[in-house]
Structure 1
Amino acid sequence: MTIRARLRAFAAFWYDFVVGDDWRAAFAVVLALGVTFVLGRLSVNAWFVLPAAVAVVLPWSLWRAVRRR
């Protein structure tokens, strides 16, 4: 196995692990992380952003998955 094939397999693993079946949910989590970072840099207490994002994104993602079937 060449180094290029190994790098491609490594990237494919991480893409599948992070994005999985729903790129919209992965994008929403990355967006929530970005909002948390920005609020933290502005010295705002931003602990609530990620739990709120999970509370919204998880049911939304499940609803979309069930609706597809």
Structure 2
Amino acid sequence: MQNDVLRPKQVAQKLGISVSAIWRKTNPKNRYYDAAFPKPFKVSANATGWLKSEIDSYIANLATQRQGGEV
């Protein structure tokens, strides 16, 4: 199984929110922290990313919650 890595700008675009909102979701000290949001990982010394499959799963879970548990 191939797992693509998404950079912050790509994650923000996929979710339709700003890059700063992505970082707020990942910061436990921020009031907009979302424990269900996938954790980022270091791709290199200056690059952080998320697995596309985890972001897709997160979006699917949001859709399930919206529909009352049915997909």
Name the TM-score class by shorter chain: 0.3 to 0.5
Using CA pairs under 8 Å that are at least 6 residues apart, name the structure with larger relative contact order, 1 or 2. Answer: 2
Larger Rg: 1
Q: TM-score scaled by structure 1? A: 0.34
Q: TM-score scaled by structure 2? A: 0.34
